[in-house]
Amino acid sequence: MSSTTAMTALEAELAALIVGALQLEVTPEEIDPEAPLFGEGLGLDSIDALEMALAISRKYGFQLRSDDERNGRIFASLRSLAAHVEKNRVG
C-alpha cells in the first residue's frame, strides 16, 4: 500500500484521522491517496464508512449523509474524500 503519490497536508490529516478512528493496522503514511478506501484498497466496509463520517463531522463541522448519492465518489479514495472535506469544512 505504499504511496508513490505525495499526500497533501489535508490528506495526511485525514489519513491519521481514519487510522485512529478505525484503529487500522497501517500507518497514515502507508495509505495511498489515490487507492480505493473500500474493496481491494484499504478493504473498508459500510460500518467503517459510518465511523469515518462521524469522525469527519466532529473534526470538520459538517455532516456526511448516508443517503447522499455522491458517496461513491466522495469515499472513492483518500484524495476524493480530502477534496470533499476541503469544499465543505467549517472554519
Instruction: Write down the domain spans for the chain.
Output: 9-88
The amino acid present at 83, given as its one-letter code, is A
Which residues are 38's β-sheet partners? 44
CATH architecture of 9-88: Orthogonal Bundle (1.10)
pTM, two decimal places? 0.89
pLDDT digits (tens, 9 = 90+) for 31-70: 999 999 998 889 999 999 999 999 999 999 999 988 999 9
Among candidate residues 34, 35, 58, 38, the one with its CA nearest the CA of residue 49: 38
